[in-house]
Amino acid sequence: MRKVDILDNLDTINYIVQDCLSMSAGKEFTPRNGFVIGDGYAMDVRCAGHKNHINLHIRTEYLQDLCRIMISPKKLVIRYSTEFLMVYNPKTELYQTNLFDEAFTLDEMEGVFFTQNCVGGWGLQVKFDYDTMIKTLSMCRGIYDSFIFANQK
């Protein structure tokens, strides 16, 4: 059993996240371990203490967290590690990261990351395929919107 380096494998982790979210399509999120199970990974659903808060934990079969998706009415958080996360704010409809302060849309993401990397010099070099990340964030946003809509009824 080898531990996965999260930041060096963001594209692979995004593919796993996409697969878990695809497998959960059409299912009502009920808290349980192994809500969906893939080849060497699974997604657990955990209640965060409130009816309108839920956490999705995507992990390896050896229980290493690959990604946590936290959904609440005020925000959507996609946390890959303590060093890297993305946050969606439904009021502004913009994303932010813990790497820099500038908020952005998915269409602006590649340019903003490029600019911040060149000008800001924020140090942490996260590398990922932008199309893959955009697809993952879009799928997370779809789950977020569905969950929030279902809880408004």
Region of poorest pLDDT, from 69-83, 89-103, 114-128 = 114-128
23 or 150, greater pLDDT: 23
Quote the number of domains for the chain: 1
pLDDT class for 22, splitting at 50, 70, 90? very high
Query: In whole angstroms, what is the distance from residue 43 CA to residue 27 CA?
Result: 13
Q: Is 119 contained in some domain?
A: yes
Query: What is the separation, in whole angstroms, between the first and last Cα of the chain?
Result: 44
Q: Is 22 contained in some domain?
A: yes
Q: Is 77 contained in some domain?
A: yes
The encoded tokens of residue 60 equal: 């390896």
pTM of the shown model: 0.92
The closest alpha carbon to 58, from 9, 121, 16, 103, belongs to 16
Query: In whole angstroms, what is the distance from residue 68 CA to residue 16 CA?
Result: 12
The pLDDT, as a whole number, for residue 48 is: 67
Q: Is 31 contained in some domain?
A: yes
Structural domain for 43, as ranges: 7-152
pLDDT in tens, 53-86: 999 999 999 999 999 999 999 999 999 998 899 9
The pLDDT, as a whole number, for residue 150 is: 84
Q: Is 55 contained in some domain?
A: yes
Query: In whole angstroms, what is the distance from residue 53 CA to residue 68 CA?
Result: 13
Query: In whole angstroms, what is the distance from residue 126 CA to residue 84 CA?
Result: 8
Q: Is 90 contained in some domain?
A: yes
The closest alpha carbon to 127, from 43, 14, 19, belongs to 14
The closest alpha carbon to 135, from 112, 109, 114, 111, belongs to 109
The encoded tokens of residue 128 equal: 């990922």
Q: Is 26 contained in some domain?
A: yes
Q: Which ranges of the chain does DSSP label H, i.e. alpha helix?
A: 10-23, 109-115, 130-152
Q: Is 2 contained in some domain?
A: no
